[in-house]
A and B are shown apart, each in its own frame.
Chain A
């Protein structure tokens, strides 16, 4: 890989390479819309652009073009890719939120998905007929109009933050393993609450879940009609949600970067390094820890609201312990405390789960159905217990183990900011 690093460090070759790979891979995706490899290459080209030494403004323009134009266009060719990209975006925001709590402040949180659930239910209850079951119709008519969705995005941020503080308060004195167990319990409590708050008053509709959830209005449709684009809501909504997620992710990244590069972020890191010393140097532990929980949770809250509107249906099954672990593995795989790491980790894990491992098991299944013979063994004889779909989790686990052995610091570990002091 040394030659690649050397190439990426030279401004001109790096620029040419990045543009070439982005162009070729998009061409590939456009011509072979069903090829997973082409789409993976397209995703890798974005990473390549990030790593390459390209002038900052050019990087911004290229990144904007890739994510803002190329990706949506390719998404109209193969709708599933847009779904993958949207999912990646959702998980990027979740990973960035958890990264504040786990990576920066060093507070191991195993129940992070609870905040996602809080955000999701916030919009789901009021953006569906559900709220009518406990609030009289004569006061307000439910579901609320789609425009309220944007108000509820802000409300979901607040709800997430509140839930974060509520979790934070009782666990402030706990550290390490104890904290992890309590947060795990908190995550389960929220899920069980969602599962059982259907009686005596029906808040969450229990295990049946809530549907239909109102989607935000297509307020821009008249404009599209005017310029001659007549698209049905079926094609528009995936694009719409992709852009909503993209906008939120950009905001989340910016908020994250600014927090990290301030006295707040430094105080979080000091708490992670040595709690006693941090407090002795004047860092108010209680406030800073609550702030970390609240910030991390608010990102999950807002994405929860988007998720519920995007899916139109939610139930407690979407917010299991495994989801929390999934987000945690993204943060650890990417590199704890590193913003690019969390983004990459979320992308890699999501794409692995949605595409690579699925593709692998599909391929194995095809081989089996075709009765291919490998080393004299006919795959058609494979017992059903060894169903290829069952390998997905196993391979994912193996990848995690290998990564932790050979690169425990993560794919893109956190780097210290280097400051030049003018007077020296």
Chain B
């Protein structure tokens, strides 16, 4: 499979803190890959670099062999990368279906003139957009919620709505920041089943940030472990699980005598 995302030597600093230190990373098309690591390891920072929210001090990001750095977030979305947020960021006073429609913005080619004249082209495209948005809501398991305000949806459904909104931009690469946070094991499982289905249906590649290890080990083709901004391990889930550096990062070193997992809880 060809490489979809190629990340080379990314370094990002916040003042004196090095959030990412020369991180290398590759992602092949059609994979589900996960990034794990303790809190503050730099996972979300990496996402923010990919989506153009942060500009790194050094390094290169290639998407389909084209450089991404220096592009604005909306340009990156138009190229085919879309994301969800760790702390849900829906447009809370808009309806579910309108949220999904915003995701389509970069795919809409209507001019101001056709909006103002309500040309046949406008009517046709607009009705297609609404239908597609409503079917995306069905796909993620929110049928009949189209006209609900986003803020009135329960937590789990808000996460699904964020997923639908991201899918609406027709991404090739989907970045999910802790999609199962706050979900029960059962809900998480059904979400993962949905993701697997989406990969087939939409020719997606998915990159996850996840804390739920059971989910990570079950669905990932590849796992990358970050700690203090550095990549400390990478490989198949079962290999990463056995890596002593990973165990140390999560549980602490043996010489402390006792596992200090409380520090990372």
A positions within 8 Å CB-CB of B: 255, 258-259, 262-264, 266-267, 269-270, 273-274, 276-285, 291, 416-419, 421, 423-424
Question: For A279, what are the chain B residues with a Cβ–Cβ distance below 8 Å?
Answer: 72-74
Question: Which of A270, A417, A423 is within 8 Å of B102, CB to CB?
Answer: A270
Docked pose: A264 CA to B72 CA in angstroms? 19
Question: For A423, what are the chain B residues with a Cβ–Cβ distance below 8 Å?
Answer: 131, 134
Closest B residue to A269 by CB, please name it.
Answer: B94
A278 touches B91 (CB 8 A): yes
A280 touches B83 (CB 8 A): yes
A280 touches B101 (CB 8 A): no
Question: Known: A263-B108, A421-B146, A424-B144. Is A280-B94 also a contact (CB below 8 A)?
Answer: no
Tell me which of B90, B91, B112, B166 has the highest count of chain A C-beta atoms within 10 A of its own C-beta.
B91
Answer whether residue B147 sits at the interface, using C-beta atoms and an 8 A cutoff.
Answer: yes
Closest A residue to B151 by CB, please name it.
Answer: A273
Answer whether residue B95 sits at the interface, using C-beta atoms and an 8 A cutoff.
Answer: yes
Question: For B110, what are the chain A residues with a Cβ–Cβ distance below 8 Å?
Answer: 262-263
Answer whether residue B197 sits at the interface, using C-beta atoms and an 8 A cutoff.
Answer: no
Question: For A255, what are the chain B residues with a Cβ–Cβ distance below 8 Å?
Answer: 116
Answer whether residue B228 sits at the interface, using C-beta atoms and an 8 A cutoff.
Answer: no
Task: Annotate B83-107 by CB proximity to A: 1 below 8 A, 0 otherwise.
Answer: 1010001111111011001111111
Docked pose: A279 CA to B103 CA in angstroms? 10
Number of residues from B at the complex interface, CB < 8 A: 48
Docked pose: A381 CA to B255 CA in angstroms? 92
Question: For B73, what are the chain A residues with a Cβ–Cβ distance below 8 Å?
Answer: 276, 279-280
Question: Known: A279-B74, A281-B102, A282-B169. Is A258-B53 also a contact (CB below 8 A)?
Answer: no
Question: Known: A262-B110, A282-B78, A421-B146. Is A274-B89 also a contact (CB below 8 A)?
Answer: yes
B positions within 8 Å CB-CB of A: 51, 53, 72-75, 77-78, 82-83, 85, 89-95, 97-98, 101-108, 110, 112, 115-116, 118, 122, 126, 129-131, 134, 143-144, 146-147, 149, 165-166, 168-169
Additional A-B contact list (7), CB under 8 Å, known A266-B105, A269-B91, A274-B89: A263-B105, A263-B108, A266-B94, A267-B102, A284-B74, A416-B149, A423-B131
**Secondary structure type dominating chain A contacts:** helix
Closest B residue to A414 by CB, please name it.
Answer: B93
Docked pose: A200 CA to B27 CA in angstroms? 66
Docked pose: A9 CA to B115 CA in angstroms? 32
Min CB distance, B205 to chain A, in Å?
18
Question: For A416, what are the chain B residues with a Cβ–Cβ distance below 8 Å?
Answer: 94-95, 98, 147, 149
B146 touches A419 (CB 8 A): yes
Min CB distance, B126 to chain A, in Å?
7
Question: Known: A258-B115, A273-B93, A274-B89. Is A266-B149 also a contact (CB below 8 A)?
Answer: no
